[in-house]
Amino acid sequence: MIVYLMYYQLFMVKMKVPVIIFTLVVFGMIPLAFGESYPEMGIKIDVVVDNLKVPWAIDFASDGRVFFTERVGNVNVIQNGEVNQIMSLGVGGGEGGMLGIALDPNFDENHYIYVYYTYNEFLGIKNKLVQYSESNNILTEEKILIEGIPGAPYHDGGRIKFGPDGMLYVTTGDAVEPDLSQDVNSVAGKILRINSDGTIPDDNPFDSAVYSMGHRNPQGIAWDESGNLIATEHGPSGWIGVAHDEINLIVPGANYGWPHVFGDQTQDGLTNPILHSGDDIWAPSGSTFYYGKEIPMFDGKYFSSALRGQHIHMIEFDENYGVSYHGELLSGEFGRIRDVTQGPDGLYFMTSNQDGRGNPNLHDDKILRISPLYNYEDSPAWVQNISEWYMKGQITKQESLDAHSYLIERGTISQN
Ligand SMILES: [Ca+2]
């Protein structure tokens, strides 16, 4: 912005035409210039990229590049404020498609990128996990790590992430064949764990890629600072009932019950969720823990996107993974939300209003970024808590606005 102003002043004196051209270029490259403030929450939200078609997953390189998928079959990169498609594949399967993406933990050295997508086979729909090699934003298929994962127009799983142990974790859906989730010999309805070259880690619970079983359609995985794995999962719909979306604490080898139990139903040998949505429908997808002092009221909390629920679900766990608070953020503000993840400069999330189940807003779909509205540095803890009290419904919107105005007036905080 400073550079822009300098040029503006320079050109203003000399001629008018270059000013206009320069202005167009600058604003074309930096959509982040237009943010929406939520002063009662202490955050602002910027559009990073818009006019997308069902963005599904995102990952960040240390060189500043941002890679993301669009379900219709694309892998894209954001670089220097510009978006470019770097791969487009003919993908299969209704609500399947180009799904998860993950950069290798050693991406800086090996330039490996992993992608999970749905493909059509002669007699059906399948999913595969492929390792690509990246060079100058060109992807070359290196190795198919897993293929033939049962697929369907629905329930294809698809979230892939590296865990803190360096292993690659993969969520798979039941492919609309619930019994597969209970078949330990099938990779459907599971969370899988493999080495980055596709081989099976020695300490997996079964003699296979299977890490946990009895899942319906898990689409979100995230680890806390201590290495605990939390997964989101869509609850039943149709003949067996509806809703009861799940948040599960994943223990290797455990069976999370689908299709035998859901919600609070129990059965020997089956593990219950640590939180479920009851009669509400969240349709949870991508999720993350946020750690950082930049957005202090988010520090240590867990966030899950909600498609049908059209919000970001914020959860606070206690030490024993009981739920001490959970509630909705940004309800109805952006429509269906597919993924939420921590980036280098804030909390990123993406809409999924072009997926056939939503009502697209102008310029949907979008990737958006939440960053702090105020500079909280050196402010006492209770100042940082005001937004959190509002988000948890402990004070009203007006009380939060008044408190923040007062603190700005006093010079305790300043607006970023
Ligand atoms: Ca379950």
Asked whether residue 325 is domain-assigned, the answer is yes
Both 220 and 173 in one domain: the answer is: yes
Domain C-terminal end among 368, 391, 407: 368
Residues 271 and 347 in one domain: yes
Q: Looking at the domain assignment, is residue 387 inside a domain?
A: yes
- Inside any domain, residue 33: no
Q: Let me know whether 270 and 405 are in one domain.
A: no
Q: What is the pLDDT of residue 239?
A: 66
pLDDT in the model for residue 308: 96
Average pLDDT of the segment spanning 285-299: 95
User: What CATH number is associated with residue 210?
Assistant: 2.120.10.30
Q: In whole angstroms, give the CA distance from residue 246 to residue 221.
A: 12
| CA separation for the pair 214, 190 (Å, rounded) | 7
Average pLDDT over residues 266-281: 96
**Containing structural domain, residue 152:** 47-368
The encoded tokens of residue 341 equal 């993840």
Confidence of residue 3 (pLDDT cuts 50, 70, 90): very low
Say how many C-beta atoms besides its own lie within 10 A of residue 163's C-beta: 16
Average pLDDT over residues 28-35: 51
Query: Does residue 19 belong to any structural domain of this protein?
Result: no
Ligand 1 mean position, distance from CA 184 (Å): 16
Mean pLDDT score, 204-224: 98
Specify the pLDDT at position 384: 87
User: Measured in angstroms, how far is the CA atom of residue 47 from the centroid of ligand 1?
Assistant: 35
| Residue of 301, 241, 305, 250 lying closest to 272 (CA atoms) | 250
Question: Hey, is 22 helix, strand or coil?
Answer: helix
With 0-12 / 13-18 / 19 or more C-beta atoms within 10 angstroms meaning exposed / middle / buried, residue 238 is exposed
The pTM assigned to this predicted structure is: 0.91
Ligand 1 center to residue 212 CA distance, Å? 11
Domain assignment present for residue 256? The answer is yes
303-320 average pLDDT score: 97
If asked whether residues 377 and 338 sit together in one domain, one would say: no
pLDDT of residue 34: 65
93-152: pLDDT as tens digits: 889 999 999 999 999 999 999 999 999 998 899 999 999 999 999 999 999 999 999 999
Give distance in angstroms: CA of 261 to centre of ligand 1.
6
- Whether residues 269 and 408 fall in one domain: no
Q: What is the pLDDT of residue 29?
A: 40
The answer as to whether 17 is a domain residue is: no
How far away, in angstroms, is 303 Cα from ligand 1 center?
Answer: 19
Beta partners for residue 144, in sequence order? 130
Q: What percent of the chain is predicted at pLDDT more than 90?
A: 85
Evaluate if residue 14 carries a pLDDT over 80: no
In a domain, 39, yes or no: no
- 154 CA to middle of ligand 1, Å? 18
For residues 89 and 231, membership in a common domain is answered with: yes
The answer to the question of residue 78 being in a domain is yes
CA 94 – ligand 1 centroid, Å: 24
Q: Rounded to 5 degrees, what are φ and ψ at 147? A: -135, 170
Same domain, 364 and 378: no
The answer on 378 and 248 residing in a single domain is: no
* Mean pLDDT for the stretch of residues 368-388: 91
Do 387 and 356 belong to one domain?
no
Residues with CB under 5 Å of ion ligand 1 are: 256-257
Q: How far is the CA of 390 from the centre of ligand 1 (A)?
A: 32
Q: What separation in Å is there between the alpha carbon of 276 and the centre of ligand 1?
A: 9
